[in-house]
Chain A
Amino acid sequence: MGFFWEGLREAARLVVSGDAATYHAVWVSFFCTVVAITAAGVLAIPYGAWLGLFRPRGHRAQVFALRVGMALPTVVVGLIVFGFLSRRGLLGSLDLLYTQAAIIIGQFILAFPLLGTLAHGAAADLDRRVVETAITLGSGKRRALWAVLGEVRVAVVAAYLAAFGRCVTELGIALTVGGNLPMRTRTLPSAATLEVTRGEFGKALAPGILLLVLACGAALVTHRLSREARS
């Protein structure tokens, strides 16, 4: 156990002393994930709710595709994005590989199916009367969709927490298209991995602890939001 405590002490020292590289990784992790899940949510949540509410033609296949997307391994997403952004790839001329934008694109792909599926589930479970009431009250389909999103906001908040968790902890994308460049694209998980390969257990634990703090923060915010939404 001594080994573990020693590591923990070193980690605590790094966290408290405000090590610049470590805190930059916190920022990259937080920034990329928030941008990615916000963008994904703006598109995926109305889309998922629309699928659940109006069951358009081919909605089953689309829901199935979303579910498959939920299980996409991060490494595969990383590889796909790499294929597009590589110098020899379709979007190579944009010069986006090894930038935060590349990480955001990957995390967007990760978050989209998750948010879409959860929104679809919530909307499909909803009492049909709410929808019908909204439509009879004279609002168009778009207004009805909006009203329904209001009804399922607790589920939406929970979906966001799940997406945040999946994106902030992912490693496959950060390494493959982020490149783990210090003070640029190094995220908390990729920083932890690097320190392990360096044989620095304590330094690897520090990003781990900060990830936990981020997760707690996100859970707290969600908790507050869903309580407000309920009342």
Chain B
Amino acid sequence: MSHRKAAALALLVGWLAVAAGCGEKRPLLRLAVTTSTYNSGLLDVILPPFEKQAGVSIRVLAVGTGQALALGERGEVDVVLVHARKREEQFMAAGHGADHREIMSNEFVIAGPASDPAGISGRDALDALVRIAKKQAAFVSRGDDSGTHIRERDLWKQTGISPAWDSYFEVGQGMGKSLTIANEKLAYVLVDRATMLARENTVELVVLCERGKNLHNPYSAITVRADRVSAETFRTAQQFLKYLTSADTRRRIAGYQKNGRPFFVPATETE
């Protein structure tokens, strides 16, 4: 055998070995989650136990709620974890989902510069937005059809204002990046508690508005309709949903904290 042939053979064998290594035998579960959940780091706590117990590996896609639901509708993921109640209801009504469970919740807050030029500190969310609009203060909007953006638009709708002034910035990026931009611009921003908590040491912005029913932020998991995925995958997905609402997982969610403050509150018994 010539050197060249030997080299080619070695390359082929090597490549096959790598390819075989990639083709992991464990079944795969595809999960689309919102960027806010992903950035919080919670998944590192709640996914590994299930992977071990069910013998699957979970592939996580961090996307906005809009894209997560679109992926679910096309059967490109098996489970979605999202936070936009109305969209979830539409998704279920259109028959794209099999099962819908609330997993946990936290709240949105309005963060802004400590100088608080619009004077929104401690006010109700709607009142705060009206004041920001009146001042035409700098405001960063996600603008990406994510759960947070959907909520923001919903709040504006309730105030009857359509936000469009020179320093209303629609940034079209994930929660982390939007917060960075707001921090640079010293702008107000609607942000979920988990992201704010994870980033509190790296941004100068402070929480100005919190609590109130308008800011409640429930997260739900939905399994994609059975005929969009294989029977085995569907069974695993249903099992995963059950796991997410189990007492064990609820304990893990509640225990996931920073400086003694939890990122999320697990949903109360849903069975």
Contact = CB atoms under 8 A, between A and B. Distances in A.
B66 A197 contact: yes
Interface in B127-174: 143-146, 169-174
Given A86-B184, A98-B185, A199 B172 contact: no
Contact of B173 (A87, A97, A175, A199): A175
17 contacts: A3-B74, A87-B184, A98-B185, A175-B173, A179-B169, A179-B181, A180-B171, A180-B172, A180-B173, A181-B169, A194-B144, A197-B64, A197-B174, A198-B144, A199-B67, A199-B70, A200-B70
B184 A190 contact: no
Nearest to B172: A194
Interface string A163-198: 000000000000100011110001000100010111
B177 interface: yes
Given A98-B169, A190-B172, A197-B172, 8 more contacts: A175-B177, A180-B172, A182-B170, A194-B173, A197-B145, A197-B174, A198-B67, A198-B145
Interface residues of B, number: 24
Interface residues of A, number: 18
Nearest to B64: A197
Nearest to B168: A181
Contacts of A87: 184, 186
A199 B181 contact: no
A183 to B, nearest CB: 9
B103 interface: no
Contacts, number: 55
B203 to A, nearest CB: 11
Nearest to B177: A175
A181 B74 CA distance: 30
B71 interface: yes
Contacts of B215: none
Given A3-B74, A198-B145, A199-B66, A181 B184 contact: no
Given A3-B74, A199-B69, A199-B71, A182 B145 contact: no
B171 A197 contact: no
A199 B145 contact: yes
Interface in A29-51: none
A197 B184 contact: no
Interface in B54-105: 63-64, 66-71, 74
Nearest to A87: B184
Contacts of B174: 197
Interface in B19-78: 63-64, 66-71, 74
A149 to B, nearest CB: 41
Contacts of A181: 169-171
A205 B259 CA distance: 44
Contacts of B170: 181-182
Top 5 closest pairs, chain A to chain B, by CB: A199-B70, A199-B67, A194-B172, A198-B145, A180-B172
Contacts of B171: 179-181
Given A3-B74, A98-B184, A98-B185, A197 B169 contact: no
B184 A186 contact: no
A25 to B, nearest CB: 11
A190 B171 CA distance: 10
A197 B67 contact: yes
Contacts of A182: 143, 170, 172
B17 to A, nearest CB: 29
Interface in A90-117: 97-98
B62 to A, nearest CB: 10
A196 B172 CA distance: 11
Nearest to B143: A182
Contacts of B181: 98, 179
A11 to B, nearest CB: 16
Interface string B104-117: 00000000000000
